[in-house]
Structure formats: structure tokens, C-alpha cells
Structure 1
């Protein structure tokens, strides 16, 4: 057990170094590629009338949002109830975003592009 952040710094640094090595490993690259493929399939099924460019943009926005919120969210202890409440709100937000993308496509009768503007 460490008594201060200073004592913990070497371990934290070593873990950061190891994470970089793992991130670039063939196994990690394969896992990321498989995950990307699953997301691509999901987005194509959920947004069949949306252009591939717009689906990729939506995928990127959702992934970036999940990553950023998850990173920030994990820095503070929360009750299980609060965690579930926030997870439900994020789910509603993503569901609404995908629903809007679908409805824009349905209303226009053609695939929307990456220049989607919400009013």
C-alpha cells in the first residue's frame, strides 16, 4: 500500500508504459478490428438508409462520447443507483440520435450525408 501519490508514481508510470505496449500489440489490434466490425454491422442494421460516411461519423461520435464520459465518470465514486441513472440517460441520448438519423433519411427519401444539421 502506498502512503502518497509520490510513492505510487513509479508504478503508475510502469502501468502507462505497459498499456502502450499492449495497445499496439497484434492481439489488441485484432480485438479492436473485430470490435470495429461488430459496430459497423450494428450501425448498418440500425441505419440502413444512411450513407456509409454518415454512419461512420455517427459511430465516431458515439464512441468518442462513450469514451470521454466513461473516463470522466470513472474518476468519481457513485452509487449503483446513480450509475444506472446516468447509463439510462446515455442510452436515451444515443437512441434519440439514431432515431433522428433514421427519420431524416425517411423524410428525405434518400441517404443523408455527413452534413446533417439538427434544428
Structure 2
């Protein structure tokens, strides 16, 4: 925190570091940047729904502003993020893994 801001610790700056800063390796932004890159490598030219969902989340993180997040509510933002991340995980499984439905269809 102090390397970036050199100032008093403020809650919105901590949230910004953990959510929106691409240069912070553990931020949500940085993690989703890696997710997008990996999905692009794995999917090639295929249009996958999990890639679209990841792209939506990444866009919110890349172009989001911490003042807007706090204005609409940090808890609400994080709750929405978790719900979207869970939906992404389900879709990722459907797109890449052998689900029971896919196994039944293959038999």
C-alpha cells in the first residue's frame, strides 16, 4: 500500500488495490486479465460462452472506478462479482470439462 500511495491508509484505496489495479498481482483485475489470456490460448478461434462471461467481468474491472463502486456499495459490488464468478465457473465446466450431461450424450 505505502509503495503505491505513500499516504494515510484509506479503505477505498485498499479496495482499489485489491479490485481494480492491474499492476497488483493479487487484484481481481490482474487475475481476470490472466483468465482472459488463458481462455484465448485454450479456445483458439472458438466462440465460447465462458470467454464472453469472463470478458464482461474483465471489462467491469478494467474500466471500473473505485468511486463508482463505493457509491453503489462495495458489498453489493463484491456480492455481484461472486455471483458472476460462480456463473463463469459453471460455464467454464460446461465448455471444457466432461459434465454428466455431456457424458450421457456421448454414450
TM-score scaled by length of structure 2: 0.39
| TM-score when normalising by structure 1 | 0.36
CA radius of gyration, larger in: 1
The structure with higher relative contact order (CA 8 Å, sep 6+) is: 1
